[in-house]
A and B are shown apart, each in its own frame.
Chain A
């Protein structure tokens, strides 16, 4: 009897192992979600860098010399890239990282763009830890795991290019199929677990605080001048006790029960929708658009491919008249551009070549 019990347990462990192996090895999962996460995270990096472009020398350049004691204890080797560099070198690295982030969003040479964005992001943002935020950590962790994932299978220029040359695409796989599939799936699991952990930890931390239990926590934050970019909006939200409590409890419950609510398809849709909604509210309310977008990007990982396909179809249906219009006008626009080139640009370049350079 005991022997049967033991053998049954061993059999069920073997079955479970086979199921896990099949899940990991047979196909890549959540490719739409990975693409959405890529676009969101790339936009968060790009937006952050654009927002700070004009003040980059003060933020992370030579004028941030005062932050050296904080920089010195940082252990990121990437910081050496910008150590004691001139303003011009900083600008070059900054612009290259912005372009890489743009390429990452568009899915153009995605893997290379991911590597450059990851290294450049740490090299730039890590230069001034004093003004760093927790959103930076999330972006860095996401970029790291996305490196192992296939994020350009949908909504990317790479996928368009490869679908046009589908025969060649098989030859462009850098890794054997079994390894690339398993790396994608395991990285997906790791990033998903990471996301669940930060949500749950944030929820558990909040539930232990009285202000969150009383539904008034956001009132205190919204009174502080640094978190009131739109004072009338903050006052509007905090003036009603009921609205304030609803928003506060929504944040608390979404974070605390994020993991269990993912288990059922209906509650999963609800919790993802609510998590995105509260992050949109805080992006505006606290003027923190890029950290909120980074959270939204990883939250998207839990939406099913079917959901993304429906959204994709819906958007394509809505924009079809516009794309058709562009398609119809495309030829005429190309004619106008061509005519402009022949009438204006080529004569001017010819005149410059023959008259000034005499060639």
Chain B
């Protein structure tokens, strides 16, 4: 039923409404192209142009409505070189952060997002590391604690073609280093001098083999990253880690 006290709409008001309607139409068409697979029309508009329109407010993906299929289980482990009292520093044992997270959120219908951090770091590290070329991965594996970020960047760029891939990897390497350092400072007594992390990756066995084997029977494929100088955060940054790690 129309609004009772509706006033007659003037021609200029109609034009405004039609313009707004046209904008909605164009916006919807751009979103449709953004979400659509590659096609001549999409290529004509250009992925970069579409990305610049949707980013940031209209950013979305085909996974916006769950669930998406996932095959890979990842693990993120950390160890540190710690100096406590004695003149000689000690290497700690490996700690599996993702395993701890899984235990913490079991039977929790509403888990906090901090329990996703280790797994997401592992996923992103794996993804960015696999984007590197074999020669670049060898550099990553053999990197030394004395290597600065610019040394690593130079070496990686010299061994591969894409600087964007190297930049992406280095960003996740930095995030993992800082997170591992803050975690280690809360986990172990003493001063954390260096940290090392490794990521594991294993896939769910095929559905047809479900009666014979489960994912627990599959071993992780590990990729170890070299030692990194520890990052030291402020007291405000460290305090939440203390309560998270020590429960």
Query: Could you list which residues of chain A lie within 8 angstroms of chain B, going by C-beta atoms?
Result: 17, 20-21, 24-28, 47, 51-52, 54-55, 57-59, 61-63, 65-70, 74-76, 86-87, 128, 130-131, 134-135, 137-138, 140-141, 144, 177-179, 181-183, 186, 189-190, 193-194, 197-202, 204-206, 209, 211-212, 214, 216-221, 223-227, 229-231, 238, 251, 255, 279, 282, 284, 286-292, 295
Contacts and interface: CB of A to CB of B under 8 A. Distances in A.
Contacts of A225: 73, 98, 102, 215
Interface of B: 1-3, 5-7, 9, 13-14, 16-18, 20-21, 24, 27-28, 31-32, 35-37, 55-73, 98, 101-102, 105-114, 116-117, 119-121, 124, 171-172, 174-175, 178-179, 182, 204, 207, 210, 214-215, 231, 233-234, 236-241, 244
25 contacts: A25-B17, A27-B6, A52-B113, A54-B112, A58-B114, A59-B114, A62-B234, A65-B237, A66-B182, A68-B175, A69-B171, A128-B113, A137-B64, A178-B6, A182-B16, A183-B20, A193-B24, A194-B28, A199-B65, A202-B65, A209-B69, A211-B69, A224-B72, A229-B108, A282-B67
Given A24-B17, A226-B119, A229-B111, A63 B241 contact: yes
5 smallest beta-carbon distances between A and B, as pairs: A66-B178, A57-B240, A201-B35, A63-B240, A69-B171
Contacts of A221: 67-70
A292 B55 CA distance: 23
Contacts of A194: 28, 31
B32 A197 contact: yes
A70 B175 contact: yes
Given A63-B237, A193-B28, A197-B28, A218 B67 contact: yes
Contacts of B179: 66
A179 B21 CA distance: 12
B69 A212 contact: yes
Q: Which of B73, B102, B207, B236 has the most CB of A within 10 A?
A: B207
Contacts of B233: 62-63, 65
A130 B117 contact: yes
Nearest to B14: A21
Nearest to A283: B109
B7 A178 contact: yes
A303 B107 CA distance: 33
B111 A201 contact: no
Q: Dominant SS at the A interface?
A: helix
B56 A75 contact: yes
Nearest to A148: B20
Q: Which of A28, A47, A62 has the most CB of B within 10 A?
A: A62
A213 B105 CA distance: 31
B60 A141 contact: yes
A198 B215 contact: no
Contacts of B124: 130
A80 to B, nearest CB: 13
A89 B205 CA distance: 48
A103 B69 CA distance: 36
B105 A229 contact: yes
A138 B56 contact: no
Contacts of A138: 60, 64-65
Given A197-B31, A214-B207, A55 B17 contact: no
Contact of A26 (B6, B37, B72, B73): B6
A47 B175 contact: no
A66 B175 contact: yes
Contacts of B117: 130-131
A239 to B, nearest CB: 9
A279 B231 CA distance: 42
A333 to B, nearest CB: 33
A67 to B, nearest CB: 6
Nearest to A26: B2
Nearest to B59: A137
Contacts of A137: 59-61, 64
B189 to A, nearest CB: 20
Nearest to B105: A229
Nearest to A132: B113
A21 B21 CA distance: 10
A284 B109 contact: yes
Nearest to B179: A66
Nearest to A57: B240
B43 to A, nearest CB: 18
B64 A134 contact: yes
Contacts of A214: 207
Nearest to B176: A66
A67 B174 CA distance: 9
A295 B107 contact: no
A224 B237 contact: no
Contacts of B35: 197-198, 200-201
A186 B207 contact: no
